[in-house]
Amino acid sequence: MHIANDDVLVQGGGGFLIRIPPATDPVHLEEIRSGLQRKLWDESGGEVQFSLGWGKTPFAARAHLELQKRRIGASMLQSSGGWNPEGWSQPPLDEPFGKPCDICGQSPGSQVVQYEGEKVLHCKSCLEARRLGEKLTRWKWMRPGGGSVRALGISFENVNSQTPESFRVGRWIPRHPDSREPLTFQEIAEQARSDHRLAVLKADVDDMGVRVGQVAGEDPSYNRLRSFSYSLHEFFGQTIQELLEESWPLIYTLYAGGDDLLLVGPWNIVLDFAGSLAREFETGPAQEYSPLTLSAGIALTPYRVPIRHAVERAEELLESAKQCPGKNRCAALGADWSWKQHESVVGDGKQLADWVASGVAPRSLLHRLLRLAESGKSLSAARWAYQIERNVHRRYSDFRRWANHVIEYLERDEQRVSELAASLRYALLATRPRKEGRDD
Ligand SMILES: [Zn+2]
């Protein structure tokens, strides 16, 4: 099937929406679907999955897709007459056949690679993925045809500039200034304030499916839908990448494109960046395609823990941020808040940390105030005032002014109290005494 550029309405973010001739035979579409599923199954061992849905409108196609997603793998595990046991066989793993791959734990390991001083056993497909990943961190543009990188049976090559058939793959990652080697997660974490933790940020556009349907409805030629999708992809895949390169060089891009973003960096820098991201989005795509909002989840993690755990938590936090009516929020540090409040939550955290660092208040006071803020119904302004009176000298009027301001909402505004708790957690992290050799 030939697809013209104009027929690609939405792309990026691991998904696409294309216009096809109305008379297309569904049998043909089913063949395309099972062909791609088979290739992905072979290449990723079932780790990456693909579904395809279609319909007369973008809305109908989406509904069909959702249905298909629930029976993923069916074409792999069922043949025409019933279950196909060949489909789920994996190569044998245990002795005497050798050890499983240290990375995926699924296929037999075939080669040991030195990585950050440790010997890591790789299977064939993890080794291939590793080589591909190394190449992709150096490539800026690539196009199908003739190259050494293969995915889904298609080969790709590196090109130095944008051409009609090329697409941007270059993503910002921090490197050593001299060797140009990528920084390790440990080196990135060591740039964080006080507590050497990483933060994983996952952000995406709120109600994207609904907005796609609405934008499609506004213009039956789908021109507006095409430019909507293109703007978003350009925002995440290009504008934000340039912003990182210029102003946030310590942030590592795990994924950027379509309508979402997955980044990792020093925890305090990621929290600052999140505010900047929200502002860029508001003055960029949100301005042009209003109403359009964005939410983010930020999970903190020690650098030694495999990053996928923090990615999962960032996804859960993102979902929790979206539970709140109106969305348009950030979830982090045990709370979530509207972007309007972001600067004040993070700013108060920094201010409190600075007060502790300059001796205005003891760090132990932050722990006590946090316990109060977390005490729910038994939270009392009198206990708060008592702690301030006992621990902060009268001459520190800035701190006292801040603490008095808190008293005004302490017993009646649950949301603001949860934001207060987030600021206190920020300040505790930012003033954590550093111990030799500790990394948790
Ligand atoms: Zn593997």
Tens digits of residue pLDDT in 337-349: 999 999 999 999 9
Ligand 1 centroid to 40 CA: how many Å? Answer: 15
What is the distance in A from the centroid of ligand 1 to the CA of 5?
36
Pairing type for strands 329-332 and 294-302 reads parallel
pLDDT at 439: 44
Å from CA of 104 to ligand 1 middle: 4
User: Quick check: is 175 in a domain?
Assistant: no
Residues 37 and 163 in one domain: no
One DSSP character per residue, 222-253 reads: -HHHHHHHHHHHHIIIIIHHHHHHHH-TTPEE
In the chain, % of residues over pLDDT 90: 52
Lowest average pLDDT, out of 133-137, 349-353, 396-400, goes to 133-137
Distance 155 CA to ligand 1 centre (A): 22
Interacting residues of 282 by C-beta distance below 8 A, sequence separation 6+: 339
- Residue 346 in 3-state DSSP? helix
Give residue 225's identity as a one-letter amino acid code.
Answer: L
On whether residue 407 sits in a domain, the answer given is yes
* CA–centroid distance, residue 41 to ligand 1 (Å): 14
CA 97 to ligand 1 center in whole angstroms: 15
Question: For the segment 143-165, what is each residue's pLDDT rounded down to a tens digit?
Answer: 888 777 777 778 888 888 888 88
In a shared domain, residues 257 and 224: yes
Q: How far is the CA of 106 from the centre of ligand 1 (A)?
A: 6
Q: Determine how β-strand 197-205 pairs with β-strand 141-151.
A: unpaired
195 Cα: distance to centroid of ligand 1 (angstroms): 32
CA of 74 to the centre of ligand 1 (A): 24
Report CA(47)–ligand 1 centroid distance (Å): 11
Q: What's the 308 CA to ligand 1 centre distance in angstroms?
A: 15
> 440 falls in which pLDDT band (50, 70, 90)?
very low
Q: How many angstroms does the Cα of residue 46 sit away from the middle of ligand 1?
A: 12
Q: Please check whether residue 155 lies inside any domain of the structure.
A: yes
User: CA 388 from chain center: how many Å?
Assistant: 39
Amino acid at 163: T
Q: Are residues 155 and 80 in the same domain?
A: no
| For the chain, percent of residues with pLDDT exceeding 70 | 91
Same domain, 359 and 311: no
The answer on 317 and 243 residing in a single domain is yes
Q: Which of 314, 337, 350 is nearest to 423 (CA)?
A: 350
- Separation of CA 12 and ligand 1 centre (Å): 26
Tell how far the Cα of 108 is from the centroid of ligand 1, in angstroms.
7
**Could you tell me the distance, in angstroms and rounded to a whole number, from the CA of residue 128 to the centre of ligand 1?**
9
Lowest mean pLDDT among 52-61, 132-141, 421-430: 132-141
Answer yes or no: is pLDDT of 108 > 90.
no
What single letter denotes the amino acid at residue 339?
A: W
Please name the helix (run of DSSP H) or strand (run of DSSP E) that holds residue 42, with its range, or none. helix 26-44
DSSP assignment of 84-149, as one string?
A: -GGGG-----STTS-PBPTTTSSSB--EEEEETTEEEEE-HHHHHHHHHHHHHTT-SEEEEEEEEE
pLDDT in tens, 251-264: 999 998 889 999 99
> For residues 338 and 282, what is the distance between their CA atoms, to the nearest angstrom?
13
Q: Is the pLDDT of residue 131 over 60?
A: yes
- What length is written for the chain? 440
Distance 432 CA to ligand 1 centre (A): 38
The torsion angles phi and psi of 413, rounded to 5 degrees, stand at -125, 90
What is the 144 CA–ligand 1 centroid distance (Å)?
Answer: 26
Residue 390: give the domain boundaries.
343-430
Is the pLDDT score of 325 beyond 60? yes
What is the whole-number distance in angstroms between the Cα of residue 246 and the centre of ligand 1? Answer: 36
Same domain, yes or no: 366 and 327:
no
Asked if residue 417 belongs to a domain, the reply is: yes
ω before 291 within 30° of 0 (cis)?
Answer: yes
Give the type of residue at 401.
R
For residue 121, report the distance from its CA to the centre of ligand 1, in Å. 8
Count: domains in the chain: 4
Name beta bridge partners: 10: 17
Tell me phi and psi for residue 418, to 5 degrees.
-70, -30
| Residue 297 falls inside a structural domain | yes
b/e map of 105-134 (b: 16 or more CB within 10 Å)?
ebbbbeeeeeeeeeebbbbebbbebeeeee
Q: Are residues 318 and 381 in the same domain?
A: no
pLDDT band at 78 (very low <50, low <70, confident <90, very high): low
Q: How far is the C-alpha of 265 from the C-alpha of 243, rounded, in Å? A: 14
Q: Is 121 in the same domain as 238?
A: no
Residues 310 and 214 in one domain: yes
In 3D, which of 386, 374, 361 has the Cα closest to residue 414?
374
Q: Give the distance (Å) from ligand 1 centre to CA of residue 107.
A: 6
Inside any domain, residue 35: yes
Is residue 400 included in any domain, yes or no? yes
Examine the fold and report which residue of 332, 365, 400 is the final residue of a domain before the chain moves on: 332
pTM summary value: 0.85
| Whether residues 242 and 317 fall in one domain | yes
Tokens at 380, concatenated:
């009392």
Which among 88, 121, 142 is the end of a domain?
A: 88
Most confident listed range (108-117, 176-185, 337-346): 337-346
- Is the residue at 437 inside a domain? no
> Ligand 1: distance of its center to the CA of 383 in Å?
55
Q: How much is the mean pLDDT over the chain?
A: 87
Q: 415 alpha carbon to ligand 1 midpoint, in Å?
A: 45
Does residue 314 share a domain with residue 189? yes
Pair 195, 314 in one domain: yes
